[in-house]
Chain A
């Protein structure tokens, strides 16, 4: 029934566009498509675990299209950010996520909205999967009042319910995430906290302090290392004595996952969440992934790796292409509807960019607000003793 309505709607839509005459958009009805299929996924390398996630997973058409749509939205949003940065409309730091979409989308698919998540500064993808609109993300990047942090945070400081940013200090988010997990345990609601960090951050001492306390107190924390092979301009071999990041939790069980395959990530996340949700303690996941852009917009990304390498990953392992090919070759989606989704996303991103470039900057009156929460208004010293500004909670 749903499919029939979709066909009719599409047909009418198509008709309205072309001079009033009816044009049939799709020659084939969606009722022909496979509602779900089973896929083989790579076996994970395991550390201190007898069993790992299943090597087979079932994907429904509905989920598949949703993952596709989400990944494509993140991809297009990041490319738009690239464009806006080059036009100098976005300033400062901008760390793009294109190439790594399967991680954010797969993780979100493996946890509940009531679970918690925290990551570092390569955060736009997670901000989207955790529920913030593209409009609010781009407007935050352009520093406008319609941004999710009212323009006061910028690229690295976006927050939402059960999403704690967005953290600029490498590694700091890991103890913070363990703390969120402590709160989950304390409040006894069977929630977990997903705490992400990169291959560069993996050598931070505070991460090992967090591992120790998480294991000691059996905190419901899923530590996830997004290994995109480069910490800024330093390859993993040049930074880490051990590049088996999934083993570096030592006494914490770990698994290494293909981070370019959204289904692998989803399955592994489900496995990890199951493990630590009910009191077994923390678990560690390494997602092997890749970023197409350099470390940030000020890094062309080719002085420490070859263009050939980037091209090869794009050609052979792109997460969005992989999912699309899987769905089409298994008759789970048609090329036309994929194209439609792409067109819708393009439109959404354009509109969001429009908003992000036309929305006004936060007013000067907002300068000193939000210093303290739930506090009486107070005076703030301006740039000289005669300038007295006001701060409101």
Chain B
């Protein structure tokens, strides 16, 4: 604002640009701010200039910006000048050039407007202006100035509106003026009189509207304006009804002279007047309802307003209104916006009618009318869309009526909602083949959405609405329709996904989106054809993969099939395609990994990934698959998801919006039976006798690809009939090798370098494997998990309504009993079929305080008391026998079927029993021809042979070992691992003795032997009292130690190195452990024990178990 103020405007051009500046606002207006009061003065004097062509715009300018140009400090004087100007202009004779009617009219309007908007009841000015205006209007039927009189009436009306009852004192005069005026200005007189009466009635002034005793001029400012908010003060309370009704009767004679807008203004006041003066609304109906037939939108709207105010009086007119509104929407001559508006009014009308309007039958017949109006061919799409809304509304209304009346009613003439919808949608049916961005598509899906969410509003969370929706015919139709559309018109997939997204994004309808996805998941995979076109479904798959409520199995199967298809179809011209498709599939896998718990996915996804990294033609895809697989196996679930999510965030993709709580959800397999049996597991317990060390939260299980697979078998155990030279090995086993050294592309070289040592090893191994039963051809190795079954009497009675144990004195007799209990087991894990278990009789467990009164304290102290003594009577031992196909931890689901005393059959699901890796630990099977005292040596030999075979340098991997029965064979592909346990030697020995003693084959080292022997638990093994140094030498020979993580962490830090050396120095011995894992695998542990820590070297021929072993060791020694 440092600029110097602009020069004062003089010429019309100056004023014009000034006006523009003010309208424009901002800096352009700002620069004039210093001139504000004087600008108004200048303008006011310019208006009076004779030769000034810019008068009218200038007057309007003053009017529009009066809030700026008339600052309050100089308001009074400016207003005086304004009124003076007005008087001058109004009283000047018309010369047709400088003083025109237009100027007079504008001056009157603008002065009035300024007076009102500057918000000052300047009694002097206002009274003067009113007087001037009254003088103008007081010449009814004068020919020349009739329009100016009309405008003056409008000015007076505005003043009356701004200061209600300003003119009520002269209402009598106004009435007589109104009566005599016959030119077209009569509308303004009528409206003025109506306004005056309106304010009299609303202020409840008891004033005579017939009284003309007060002179019209000079105008006296009425005192009731000055005393604000004192209703009727000074005049007395009470309306002069008789007179007012007469005035109303007069006014209602003349509606036909009003313009549509005049009518609108008129009706706005008449309606409250009619209420206040107790006029019959039916009179209004007779007088004004005909306006509904006008094509003037304003008049139609007036009727609607009238209806909403006096709906009782307009009873029976609903159909006329409906019909008329529908017809407006059909009128091609009408502007589109009014056609749209009419449908909106109709919907608003129907909505209100449904809430307030009359009886059921009437509602039905009214709503049915809506069905007559399908979108027409040449209706603009916006009109089509909104008409479809109307159809949706009607169908929902009908539905709700049907629900309430209970009668069987059809929509329209025997049309179901579905049919209605189909018919309606024909008008945009091109959406099926047009590009998915077409407007038709948008309209069609908008309608789908409207119909789908139907009557469920977002404000209330009423579960019953949800059920209704799910059961509605429309929903089931829509489901099917969406699926069909996806299959038939792939181009629609993005739209459908967007549709589902819209639901998913909504808090209230999230479930609906999920349900749709679930339906797609259920139906799509069955029907989709595996070919390149599957790619178009990936968007859907991605959403399915994201959703935690959908088990990923089906999708994974499909994707696996697709990958197989890609591998099969691969040719030189499909390289790019393979890459792109493979990458997309992996993308979906990744989505799954980020959103699902690993254990749900593990089986399927690891197979998919394993297959991909083995066979997929594109190197990059293979690489990615491999890294995903590695992560899947080595990184625990939560961390994995974190990592993948992090990646997503880095890529700029927002992480899933779903709440974290979903992660903790159980898989759907564990859903409980509904209703009565729901809580069965809370009082009937099947428990492991020996608790697991590790609570296994996940399991890794690799099955051959595709159950009952076709030509190509990726079988774990090969039948001996198959040519051995083919060397087609278990995909799961083979994979481990390839992932390490990329052997997939190398041709297999059968390399047999036999030396005596190797042949000796082979001999031992052959002998060993020949003792292992081949579960495919004979009974496999079984393991037993001992459990106890018990149930709480109290809660049992509570649920099953048995005798309440009121007579505690009876003790045992009062306890409930279960007869002929059958426990059935099943497991998703590869445990073969599990024999069911029968318990003839089981007594309920009495409440704790009941059976050992006074001894609870003791119980608390010593847990071992439980399970001993008398209490055993309440428990039934159960052994779950598993025949593992694969050494993997898992869950065994337990179903109970039993009979209560009164014969009630109780069945349901109990808590699942988890099977840990340690349950699968078995002692290796010894050949029957080995004498008992030679067994320790046999085991040691076996250990050494396996140890050797499991090293990567061994070439025994090429050898297939026949299993018992001679039909199947196994190959050894070893994997190694190390683990450092930071536990002191004695606790290590203690834990080992406690949990692993049956599997120890040898102990080396004098000191260690002493420790172990002292314990006395470990017997019948080979004790090797070799020198410590030798042992270390033996172990560090070769390259093995170099691969140990310990050695790899070479640091400059002297202390650390010293401490490492220290560990070695204090080594006190070595324990070797051989564990057999059914059906035919092994874990070999070599523990190099030192005083403070122990290094465990692990080798196995079943790499997936490494992860469990790791957890097991940690649980065993470190906790």
Say whether A and B bind each other: no
A interface residue numbers (CB < 8 A to B):
none
B interface residue numbers (CB < 8 A to A):
none
